[in-house]
Amino acid sequence: MCEWLKLLRVKHWLKNLLVLFPLLFSGRAVQPDALIQGIVAFLAFCFMASAIYVVNDIRDAENDRAHPTKCLRPIASGAISTAPAIVVACVFAVLAVVLCIPCAQQTPLAILFLIAYAVLNIAYSFGCKNVPILDIAMLSVGFLLRILFGSAFCGIEVSSWLFLTVLSLSVFLSLGKRRGEIERFGTSARASLMRYDKSFLDKNMYVYLGLGLVFYSLWTFQGMDVAYLGYSIGQLALVAGIPLAMFACMRYSFCIERTASDGDPIGVVLGDKPLLVLMILWVVVMIIGVYMP
Q: What is the pLDDT of residues 153-169, one digit of tens each?
A: 999 999 899 999 999 99
Q: Is the pLDDT of residue 209 over 80?
A: yes
Give the 3-state secondary structure of residue 273: helix
Kindly state whether residue 93 falls inside one of the protein's structural domains. Answer: no
Count Cβ neighbours within 10 Å for each residue of 56-93 and write b for 16 or more, e otherwise.
bbbebbeebeeeeebeebbbbeeebeeeebeebbeebb
Q: How many other C-beta atoms can be found within 10 angstroms of the C-beta atom of residue 214?
A: 14
**What is the tens place of the pLDDT at every residue in 215-242?**
999 998 886 766 566 678 888 898 999 9
Q: Which residue from 93, 97, 12 is spatially nearest to 48, judged by alpha carbons?
A: 93
- CB count in 10 Å sphere of residue 142: 20
Chain mean pLDDT for the chain: 88
- Does residue 152 belong to any structural domain of this protein? no
Please list, in sequence order, all residues whose beta carbon lies within 8 angstroms of the beta carbon of residue 83, skipping any fewer than 6 positions away.
Answer: none
The pLDDT of residue 255: 87
Q: Which helix (H) or strand (E) holds 109?
A: helix 107-125
Shortest CA distance to 117 belongs to which of 48, 168, 165? 48
Q: Looking at the domain assignment, is residue 103 inside a domain?
A: no
Distances (CA, A) of 228 to 39, 235, 238: 36, 11, 14
List, for residues 125-149, the tens digit of each pLDDT value.
888 888 889 999 999 999 999 999 9
pLDDT of residue 277: 96
Given pLDDT bands bounded at 50, 70 and 90, which one contains residue 204? Answer: very high
Side-chain-side CA neighbours of 110 within 13 Å: the count stands at 29
Mean predicted confidence (pLDDT) in 202-223:
92
Helix-, strand-, coil-residue percentages of the chain, each rounded to 5: 80, 0, 20
Q: Alpha-carbon distance 99 to 181, whole Å?
A: 35
Rounded Cα gap, residues 202 and 237, in angstroms: 31
- For 53-83, write each residue's pLDDT tens digit: 998 888 877 776 766 677 777 787 777 888 8
Q: What angle do CA 158, 144, 156 make, to 5 degrees?
A: 25
Range 150-189 burial, b when 16+ CB lie within 10 A, else e: bbbbbbbebbebbbbbbbbbbbbbbbbbbbbbbbbbeeeb
> Which pLDDT score is estimated for 228?
60
DSSP state of 157: P
Contact present, 53 and 9 (Cβ < 8 Å): yes
* Residue 90 banded pLDDT, cuts 50, 70, 90: very high
Q: State the total domains in the chain.
A: 1
- 246 or 225, which is more confident? 246
Residue percentage of the chain with pLDDT more than 90: 54
Three-point CA angle 234, 238, 242, nearest 5°: 160
Q: What is the pLDDT averaged over residues 281-288?
A: 94
Ranges 6-10, 92-96, 237-241, 244-248: which has the least confidence? 6-10
Is residue 82 in some structural domain? no
pLDDT at residue 7 tops 80 = yes
Integer distance in angstroms from the first to the last C-alpha of the chain? 45
pLDDT of residue 183: 78
Is 176 part of a structural domain of the chain? yes
* Residue pair 170/58 in contact by the 8 Å Cβ criterion: no
> Which CA distances in Å does 115 have to 59, 146, 209, 215?
19, 12, 29, 28
Q: Which position has the higher pLDDT, 179 or 227?
A: 179
Containing domain of residue 180, as a range? 159-293
